[in-house]
C-alpha cells in the first residue's frame, strides 16, 4: 500500500507542470540521480501516505504528522492558516481537483478540503448513521465530484462537499479508479 512509499525526488530538479509528472510507458526513464528528502529536509513526519501535484506543479504530501509542500526546491511543513490543526492529522489521502481544491482524507478526522488556505471539514452523514472516518483514498471523477474510499465502503461527494451517494458495508475499501467509460472501480479487502 502507498503508506510505506519512501519520499524520493530525483526527477524534480525544477518545478514541473502536472502533465509532466504523469508517467506513461514512453516517458519513463531511469534518473541519473535520486535524492531522498525526509525529516532533516523539512518533512513533518517520516511516514508518507499520500502525495499529489497541484496545477502549478507543487507537491502536497500527507503524513501521519500533517501536511507538507514541495516546490521542487524546498520541502516544508504546511504553514497556512490551519497548520496547527492539520499537524495533528494522520493524513492518508490527498486529491487536488480541477477547481484548485485540495481534498484531505485522514484516519480519524474523515474528509476535509483546503480552500484558499483554510481547512474546512466535510461533515457527511452516511445512510447507516456512521460518520465518515478512516479515509483511504480520494479521487476526482469526470463530473467534478470525488469518490472517497473509507473504512466501511465508498461515497461519492459533490464538488461542494455534499453526499451524492454511498455504498456502505462493503468492508474497508482502499482505492478507487475511474474507467474511460465513466465507471468507478473499487479496491478493498
pLDDT value at residue 5: 33
Q: How far is CA 82 from CA 6, 66, 70, 79, 109, in A?
A: 26, 11, 18, 8, 14
Q: Tell me the pLDDT tens digit for each residue of 17-74.
A: 555 555 555 656 666 777 788 888 888 888 999 999 998 899 999 998 889 999 888 8
As given in the structure block, the three cell numbers for residue 79 are 504553514
Give how far the C-alpha of residue 147 lies from the chain's centroid of Cα atoms, to the nearest Å.
12
Any idea which of 76-85, 98-107, 174-183 has the lowest mean pLDDT?
76-85
pLDDT value at residue 187: 87
Length of the chain in terms of residues written:
189
Average pLDDT over the chain reads 81
pLDDT value at residue 3: 34
pLDDT value at residue 2: 38
Any idea which of 97-101, 141-145, 182-186 has the lowest mean pLDDT?
182-186
Radius of gyration of the chain (CA): 16
The one-character DSSP state at 19 is: G
Q: How far is CA 116 from CA 36, 102, 189, in A?
A: 30, 9, 35
Contact yes or no for 113/135 (Cβ under 8 A): no
pLDDT value at residue 173: 84
Strand partners, 102: 96, 114
Amino acid at each position: 500500500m502507498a503508506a510505506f512509499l519512501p519520499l524520493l525526488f530525483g526527477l524534480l530538479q525544477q518545478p514541473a507542470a502536472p502533465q509532466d509528472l504523469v508517467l506513461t510507458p514512453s516517458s519513463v526513464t531511469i534518473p541519473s540521480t535520486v535524492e531522498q528528502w525526509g525529516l532533516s529536509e523539512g518533512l513533518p513526519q517520516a511516514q508518507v501516505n499520500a502525495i499529489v501535484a497541484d496545477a502549478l506543479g507543487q507537491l502536497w504530501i500527507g503524513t501521519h504528522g500533517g501536511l507538507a509542500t514541495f516546490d521542487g526546491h524546498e520541502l516544508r511543513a504546511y504553514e497556512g492558516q490551519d497548520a496547527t490543526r492539520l499537524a495533528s492529522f494522520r493524513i492518508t489521502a490527498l486529491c487536488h481537483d480541477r477547481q484548485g481544491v485540495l481534498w484531505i482524507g485522514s484516519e480519524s478526522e474523515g474528509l476535509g478540503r483546503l480552500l484558499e488556505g483554510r481547512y474546512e471539514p466535510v461533515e457527511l452523514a452516511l445512510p447507516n448513521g456512521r460518520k465518515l472516518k478512516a479515509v483511504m483514498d480520494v479521487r476526482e471523477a469526470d463530473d467534478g465530484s470525488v469518490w472517497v474510499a473509507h473504512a466501511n465502503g465508498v461515497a461519492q461527494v459533490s464538488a461542494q462537499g455534499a453526499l451524492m451517494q454511498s455504498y456502505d458495508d462493503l468492508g474497508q475499501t482502499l482505492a478507487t479508479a475511474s474507467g474511460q467509460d465513466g465507471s468507478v472501480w473499487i479496491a478493498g479487502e
